[in-house]
């Protein structure tokens, strides 16, 4: 295991593989995309220990697999969206470098579509819905966003 704090990734004897802890327990990578500069963005969800639930989570790696600490100061971000159980499922990049993640969040006894938009540095983009987050009820109870893409006009 690599114990270098500048490269806190456990390697398990297989070239090209790494285990990167994000939350306090369970981490699920659900979607990956490459930035034009070769950096790798992985989105999913991680157990946060608070409220006994999951939150959206992301990591950004350099092309060599090391964490990009210019992203949220650590290369990792955990973002609570709803009141307890959030699952990021899909990630895409805007042409301006902003990162969009779609999934679902638990609110008011149901699950709704949810989105976050981050600036390139990993901070929430508050020009998106005032908070960087949006929860959108579509049906009457259980809505789950599983994929996201951008239209040619940026929507």
- DSSP H/E element including 47: strand 40-47
What's the CA gap between 123 and 64, in Å, rounded? 23
Q: Please, what is the Cα angle at 31 between 27 and 35, to 5 degrees?
A: 115
- The secondary structure of the chain in percent helix, strand, coil, rounded to multiples of 5, reads 0, 40, 60
Q: What is the pLDDT of residue 3?
A: 41
Q: What is the pLDDT of residue 78?
A: 95
Q: What is the pLDDT of residue 73?
A: 97
Could you tell me if 46 and 54 are in contact, meaning their C-beta atoms sit under 8 angstroms apart?
yes
Q: What is the pLDDT of residue 9?
A: 52
- DSSP H/E element including 78: strand 76-79
Could you tell me if 103 and 136 are in contact, meaning their C-beta atoms sit under 8 angstroms apart?
no
Q: What is the pLDDT of residue 140?
A: 77
Beta partners for 46? 27, 55
Please tell me whether the overall predicted TM-score, pTM, comes out greater than 0.85 for this model: yes
Q: What is the pLDDT of residue 50?
A: 66
Q: What is the pLDDT of residue 13?
A: 56
Give mean pLDDT in consecutive 10-residue pieces for the chain, a chain of 155 residues. Answer: 44 69 89 96 89 90 94 96 91 96 89 95 97 90 86 87
Among residues 114, 105, 110, 113, the alpha carbon closest in space to that of 86 is found at 105
Angstrom distances, CA of residue 11 to CA of 34, 59, 75: 22, 17, 17
């Amino acid at each position: 295991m690599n114990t270098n704090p500048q490269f806190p990734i456990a390697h398990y004897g297989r070239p090209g593989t790494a285990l990167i802890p994000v939350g306090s327990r369970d981490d699920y990578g659900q979607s990956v995309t490459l930035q034009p500069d070769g950096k790798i963005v992985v989105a999913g969800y991680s157990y946060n220990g608070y409220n006994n639930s999951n939150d959206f989570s992301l990591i950004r790696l350099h092309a060599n697999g090391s964490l990009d600490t210019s992203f949220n100061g650590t290369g990792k971000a955990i973002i609570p969206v709803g009141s307890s159980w959030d699952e990021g499922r899909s990630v895409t990049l805007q042409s301006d470098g902003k990162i969009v993640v779609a999934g679902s969040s638990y609110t008011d006894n149901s699950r709704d579509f949810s989105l976050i938009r981050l600036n390139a540095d990993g901070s929430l983009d508050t020009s998106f819905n005032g908070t960087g987050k949006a929860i959108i009820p579509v049906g009457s109870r259980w809505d789950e966003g599983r994929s996201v893409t951008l239209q040619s006009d940026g929507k």
